[in-house]
Chain A
Amino acid sequence: MAYLKIDHVDKVFSRGNRETEVLKDIVLTVEKGEYVSIIGHSGCGKSTLLNIVAGLTPATQGGVLLEGREVNAPGPDRAVVFQNHSLLPWLSSYDNVKLGVDKVFGRTKSRAERHDWVMHNLDLVQMGHARDKRPSEISGGMKQRIGIARALAMEPKVLLLDEPFGALDALTRAHLQDSVMALHQKLGNTVLMITHDVDEAVLLSDRIVMMTNGPSARIGEVLDVPLPRPRKRLELAANATYLKCRQRVLEFLYERHRYVEAA
C-alpha cells in the first residue's frame, strides 16, 4: 500500500459561471522516505496540487490518502514550507517554531521537552544562534531555514515544500538545498516538493513528476533519478546519469511542453 496517494484528483476553479479546469486526473503515489519533486511551467497548477495535498484547497474530484486514510483538511501531519517563508513577523524564530510544537506536542511532551525539541529543530537547520531574532532581523535564507525548522518540528508524515528556494539568490539556494538533502538523509522524511528549477529537481529527488501545461494539467511523465545518496553537487556535475536525467526533464519542459505565452 502506498504511503501517500493522490487519487484521481481533478480541480476546477469556478468564478461566477466561468469554470477553469486546472488539474485533470492526477494520480501519484509516494512511498515512505521518498523525495518526490513536481516540476512544471508556472501556471500549470503544481502549487494547487500541493495545496490539495496540504488540505488548504479542496479537490473537486478525487482525494488524497495518507497511510490509507483520506485527508481533506490541513494538519501538522502534512507540514508545509511556504515559498515566502510565512513566518509570523511579531514572533521570534524560537516562538515561530514553538507555535507548532506547542500545538502538536502540547499533551504528549512536557514544557522542558518541548523547549528542547524546539531548540533541537533550530539546531538542525543551524539556526540555534538566531532563536531570539525576529524574521525582520534575519536574511531570506535564514527565514526559510526557520520555516523548514517549523515544519520539521511538527514531525510531519509528509513534508510539503512549495518552491522553498524560489525567492532566494543562487548561492543561498545551493546552501539550503545541501541542508535539505542532509536533513532528508538524516531524518528519512517523505518529501513532496514543488519546483521550477531543473537542476534542483534532479539533485534532490528520487523521482521527478513532470506536469503538462495548464489548463487541465496532467502528469506528463515521471522520471526516476537512480543516483546513489549521499549526493555531492560538484561530483554530479559531470555524472552521466545526472546529465541524462537533466536532459530528459529539459526536453520535456522545453520541447514537448513548451511554455505557452498566455499561461
Chain B
Amino acid sequence: MTIALQKSADAAATPVTASATIVPLSQPRASNVQTKLIPAAKEWAATLIPPIITVGALLLLWQILCMKPGATLPSPSRIWTDAKDLIVDPFFVAGPQDIGLGWRILTSLQRVAVGFGLASIVGVLLGALVGQSVWAMRGLDPIFQVLRTVPPLAWLPIALAAFRDSRPSAIFVIFITSIWPIIINTAVGIRNIPQDYRNVASVVQLNQLEFFWKIMIPSAAPYIFTGLRIGVGLSWLAIVAAEMLTGGVGIGFFIWDAWNSSRLSDIIIALIYIGIVGFVLDRMVAFIANIATRGTQAA
C-alpha cells in the first residue's frame, strides 16, 4: 500500500518539476567529468608517469656519462643533432640508399611476414601431426629438439648455398628460427586436448578434417598462440642478424652500413626502432590471441 502511494505521489510530482528542469540538467554533466574523466586521467597518469620518469632519468644519466670529450658513445643530445632526420621523419626518400627507417623496417617486416607466415602454417601442421601420433612424435621429436638449439645465423651459410640468393636465404632463416616453438607448443596443446572432447567428437563421428578444424585448433589455440608469440619474437631477432650479412634494404643492413661508416648515432636510433617494432609485434600477436581464444579456456 505504502509503495503504491509513494509511486502515485512521485508520478504526481514529476510534471511539476518538469517545467523547471534546466538547472538539474547541468548536474549530470558536471558529475560525468567527476566520475569518469578524472579517474580515467588519474589512471593514465599512474601508468604513464613512472615510465616517463625512468626514461628521463636514464637519458639524463646517459647524457652526463657521454658528455665529456673523448667519450666513445654519442650522448642523447649528440644523437639528436646527428640523426634528426631519421628521428623526425621515418618515411623520407632522399636517394636509393638514403631512405627513412620506416621504409627499412617495412622491408624487414615483409621478410618476417613471409618467413613467419610459412613457419606458422607448417609449424601448426607439423605440431598437429606430432601431437596426434605417438609414432610421429617418437620419430620427429629428437630431430626437433636438436635442431631448435641451432642459432639462427648458423643456418645462413647453408641457406645461401642452397638458394644462391640473399632474399630467400633471409626468409629461410626466419622460417627455421621461428618454427620450433610453434611446432612444440602446438604439439603440447594437441596432446592436452581433454579426452572428453575426443569422446564427443567420436560420438558425433567427426572425420579427421572436421576434428582438426572443430576440436583440435580451437582446443589447442592457447598453446598455438603461445608458440606464435615466441616465434614472432625470435624471427624479429633473426631478421636483423640475417640482414646484416645478406645486405639489401632492411634495418639490419642499415645498422651494418652505419657501423662501416661510423655513424653511431644512426645505429642507436635503429636499435630504438627495432625494439619498438618488436614490442608492437609481440603485442599484436597477444592481441589476436586474446580475441581468438576467448572462451576456450574457461569451461
Binding site for B on A (CB under 8 A): 54-56, 73-76, 78-80, 82, 84, 86-90, 99-100, 103-104, 134-136, 154
Q: Give the distance in Å from the alpha carbon of A7 to the alpha carbon of B215 in the complex.
A: 34
Q: Give the distance in Å from the alpha carbon of A82 to the alpha carbon of B197 in the complex.
A: 11
Q: Is residue B298 contacting chain A, with contact meaning CB distance below 8 A? A: yes
B199 and A103 contacting across the interface, CB-CB below 8 Å: no
With a cutoff of 8 Å between Cβ atoms, the chain B residues found around residue A75 in the complex are: 203, 205
With a cutoff of 8 Å between Cβ atoms, the chain B residues found around residue A100 in the complex are: 203-204
A154 and B196 contacting across the interface, CB-CB below 8 Å: no
Nearest neighbor of B299 in chain A, beta-carbon distance: A89
**What is the CB-to-nearest-CB distance from A101 to chain B, in angstroms, rounded to a whole number?**
9
**Known contacts A86-B197, A89-B295, A89-B296; is-contact A76 B218 (Cβ 8 Å):** no
With a cutoff of 8 Å between Cβ atoms, the chain A residues found around residue B296 in the complex are: 89-90
B295 and A134 contacting across the interface, CB-CB below 8 Å: yes
A-B contact pairs, 19 of them (CB 8 A): A56-B199, A73-B202, A74-B199, A75-B205, A76-B204, A84-B196, A86-B199, A86-B200, A88-B197, A89-B295, A89-B297, A90-B221, A90-B295, A90-B296, A99-B204, A100-B203, A103-B210, A135-B299, A136-B299
Interface residues of B in 203-224 (CB under 8 A from A): 203-206, 210, 214-215, 218-219, 221
Q: Give the distance in Å from the alpha carbon of A100 to the alpha carbon of B210 in the complex.
A: 12
- 9 nearest CB pairs, A to B: A136-B298, A86-B196, A74-B202, A90-B218, A90-B296, A89-B299, A134-B295, A100-B204, A74-B203
Q: Give the distance in Å from the alpha carbon of A244 to the alpha carbon of B37 in the complex.
A: 70
Number of A-B pairs, beta carbon distance below 8 Å: 63
With a cutoff of 8 Å between Cβ atoms, the chain B residues found around residue A86 in the complex are: 194, 196-197, 199-200
With a cutoff of 8 Å between Cβ atoms, the chain B residues found around residue A84 in the complex are: 196
18 more contacts with CB within 8 A, not counting A88-B218, A89-B299, A134-B295, are A55-B202, A73-B202, A74-B203, A74-B205, A76-B203, A78-B203, A82-B196, A86-B199, A89-B295, A90-B219, A90-B221, A90-B293, A99-B200, A103-B204, A103-B205, A135-B299, A136-B295, A136-B299
Interface size of B by CB at 8 A reads: 23
Interface residues of B in 243-299 (CB under 8 A from A): 293-299
Nearest neighbor of A95 in chain B, beta-carbon distance: B214
B299 and A80 contacting across the interface, CB-CB below 8 Å: no
Q: Give the distance in Å from the alpha carbon of A136 to the alpha carbon of B214 in the complex.
A: 18
**What is the CB-to-nearest-CB distance from B88 to chain A, in angstroms, rounded to a whole number?**
46
With a cutoff of 8 Å between Cβ atoms, the chain A residues found around residue B214 in the complex are: 88, 99
With a cutoff of 8 Å between Cβ atoms, the chain A residues found around residue B218 in the complex are: 88, 90
Q: Give the distance in Å from the alpha carbon of A86 to the alpha carbon of B204 in the complex.
A: 13
With a cutoff of 8 Å between Cβ atoms, the chain B residues found around residue A78 in the complex are: 203
**What is the CB-to-nearest-CB distance from B17 to chain A, in angstroms, rounded to a whole number?**
39
**What is the CB-to-nearest-CB distance from A158 to chain B, in angstroms, rounded to a whole number?**
12
**What is the CB-to-nearest-CB distance from A202 to chain B, in angstroms, rounded to a whole number?**
28
Q: Give the distance in Å from the alpha carbon of A14 to the alpha carbon of B219 in the complex.
A: 30
Q: Give the distance in Å from the alpha carbon of A76 to the alpha carbon of B200 in the complex.
A: 10
**What is the CB-to-nearest-CB distance from B290 to chain A, in angstroms, rounded to a whole number?**
14
A89 and B205 contacting across the interface, CB-CB below 8 Å: no
Q: Give the distance in Å from the alpha carbon of A86 to the alpha carbon of B198 in the complex.
A: 10
Q: Give the distance in Å from the alpha carbon of A87 to the alpha carbon of B219 in the complex.
A: 12
**What is the CB-to-nearest-CB distance from A103 to chain B, in angstroms, rounded to a whole number?**
5
Nearest neighbor of B215 in chain A, beta-carbon distance: A88
With a cutoff of 8 Å between Cβ atoms, the chain B residues found around residue A56 in the complex are: 199, 202-203
With a cutoff of 8 Å between Cβ atoms, the chain A residues found around residue B203 in the complex are: 54, 56, 74-76, 78-80, 100
